[in-house]
Structure 1
């Protein structure tokens, strides 16, 4: 039975069952034959708040390593000439992965009990999207090109998701969703490059490595450029390109150490610290709708993220938690925001 059928019939319990009984055979595969599923969950509950960027979920599927993108039968034939025109897509020295993603995000003001819109606070918004990502990687460089299509507004069902969860938890529902952004088709095109700059074995049980990234995003949802980096310390660090939060162009993250072999443990654990600076030219969740009048605020043009976290990996499973602090994103914002990010990575 395929993992997809397991998920359909048995949910998360089925995933655990599948991994427990079948990971041994998956581990016996060559690393290049392994597919990966990543489950992201982010919430400001970890910062003991319920406002601004308040909840997000994303699931990403990554193909096995491909010599050429056209080797993946899921890509329509008409897309191959377009992909070939991408500068990094035909590099014979690179391995390639195709990714499919589906996600949902919720944004709210700081006061979710008032029914009146405020010009001093960010508007309500929901965002649902699906996308395609193309990854091209060598041992030291990862390029990711991603296109996401979706909708912002009532059609994204942000009110339903938030207030249903609040009902389950027995807490007050948000009262101001009538003031959310209007329905608007959403497109987001992004490119990101990661560099695995340096790694070193500090002792028999402690390694470290350094990863940097830079990228850009275009579209009516977001237009921005960013740069940042991550440093990791730990035992048996995966030979990948670090961890990611839910953001445009999030890259490939291995759930296990691909260089592990006979006589080597498949367990790994490490801590990390990361930062990012982003220049934001457009953010629909702050600037408001593109073609209609809607609630909006004056955004900050420069936003920084600082985060720390830890990651554990066993065989084909990797669990990562990140505690992230984000500076103010708009004028009149009371303070920066703390967000918790949890990622479960499964391979098969």
Structure 2
């Protein structure tokens, strides 16, 4: 197998040479609540296209045989990007004032993680493979984060973190495929596209199969794979081609609305099932959880700002209501 076969295939342009940095923030304060999935924050960076890096000597020699064995990597005509991310999620019961264990509500839990992934994509399809490693439990520092934010805002101090699930190293291996259909080919016009996805995750943090779809309608829609919530293999903000308004200096504005629906069939969720190797607080999870959301995206020059309002169905038995939260994503392409 030749290195040219692994990395060759497409010419460089402004999109392929660009890098994209994204900041994600999710919180239920947008629904005036403070419970369940109560906060998520994530930073991610998507590299420029790595086509030709093998021949340029920019990739270490030991990595080339490994990269060559990865699925989809040898298909000609694809862009290839590395994705690096770091984030923290936190989960709490509804009553933050109580110090004792609330047995029929979800456990206090935090997840702080580092992720590295590989994208293989063209105008129609994106394959994402990602590995996340991190810590669940006190070593995630979710308790300190929430208490600091609540003290700064003058809110009720969360008193039940002594009951959180225990320390456990976390590992998840994720794969997801996205497609793009019905998209406008010319910039400077009203456009519409549909982006379905299908994938799954395996690990001691979560194991699931997932599927969903996003539809976008507006002016100068970005040439990417949509706006994702904070989730594994969800980084899809990088421009695909020179037709993306973020890499065209004379068309640096866009505005669109979108709707999304996604579902997960959960086999394992440490934030509800409790620790894998030791006893901890747990509740009976629901096997299927769905997200329904709607939002708006704004593109100004190299910036993309999106807000999504999300309804998430009940995640465990005894949960009184579906959850509502807001998600903000700010991306910068350079």
TM-score normalized by the length of structure 2: 0.90
1:60-101 Cα distance to aligned partner (Å, 9 max, x none) = 011011216757988654443233212112222110000110
Q: Does 1:281 align with 2:297?
A: no
**Partner Cα distance (2:53, 2:265) in 1:** 32
The answer (yes or no) to whether the contact 1:308–1:322 under 8 Å persists in 2 is: yes
1:303-341 Cα distance to aligned partner (Å, 9 max, x none) = 111000000011111101100100000000011101110
- Which residue matches 1:271? 257
**Partner Cα distance (1:121, 1:72) in 2:** 55
> Out of 283, 290, 294, which is 1:304 matched to?
290
Q: Does 1:131 align with 2:115?
A: yes
Which region of structure 1 is more displaced relative to structure 2, 306-315 or 250-259?
A: 250-259
* Change over 3 Å in CA distance of 1:86–1:69 after alignment to 2: farther
The answer (yes or no) to whether the contact 2:23–2:330 under 8 Å persists in 1 is: yes
> Out of 315, 325, 328, which is 2:311 matched to?
325
**Partner Cα distance (1:148, 1:69) in 2:** 25
Q: Residue 181 of structure 1 aligns to a residue in which SS?
A: coil
Which region of structure 1 is more displaced relative to structure 2, 110-119 or 279-288?
A: 110-119
**Partner Cα distance (2:88, 2:62) in 1:** 28
Q: Size of the alignment, in residue pairs?
A: 320
> Out of 160, 181, 206, which is 2:190 matched to?
206
> Out of 145, 153, 175, which is 2:137 matched to?
153
Q: Does 1:346 align with 2:297?
A: no
User: How large is the RMSD of aligned CA atoms in angstroms?
Assistant: 2.2
Aligned ranges 1:17-96 → 2 under 5 Å: 30-67=14-51, 70=54, 77-96=61-80
The answer (yes or no) to whether the contact 2:15–2:239 under 8 Å persists in 1 is: no
**Partner Cα distance (2:80, 2:39) in 1:** 31
- Which residue matches 1:222? 206
**Partner Cα distance (2:212, 2:43) in 1:** 24
> Out of 214, 222, 227, which is 1:243 matched to?
227
The answer (yes or no) to whether the contact 1:255–1:346 under 8 Å persists in 2 is: no
* Change over 3 Å in CA distance of 1:75–1:246 after alignment to 2: farther
* Change over 3 Å in CA distance of 1:125–1:157 after alignment to 2: same
* Structure 1: runs of 5 or more not aligned: 1-28
**CA offset at residue 251 of structure 1?**
3.1
Q: Residue 198 of structure 1 aligns to a residue in which SS?
A: coil
Q: Does 1:337 align with 2:323?
A: yes
- Which residue matches 1:140? 124
Runs of 4+ deviating beyond 4 Å: 68-77, 260-264
* Change over 3 Å in CA distance of 1:95–1:55 after alignment to 2: same
**Partner Cα distance (1:114, 1:96) in 2:** 49
TM-score normalized by the length of structure 1: 0.87
* Structure 2: runs of 5 or more not aligned: 1-12
- Which residue matches 2:7? none
**Partner Cα distance (1:149, 1:190) in 2:** 11
> Out of 188, 191, 207, which is 2:175 matched to?
191
The answer (yes or no) to whether the contact 2:223–2:239 under 8 Å persists in 1 is: no
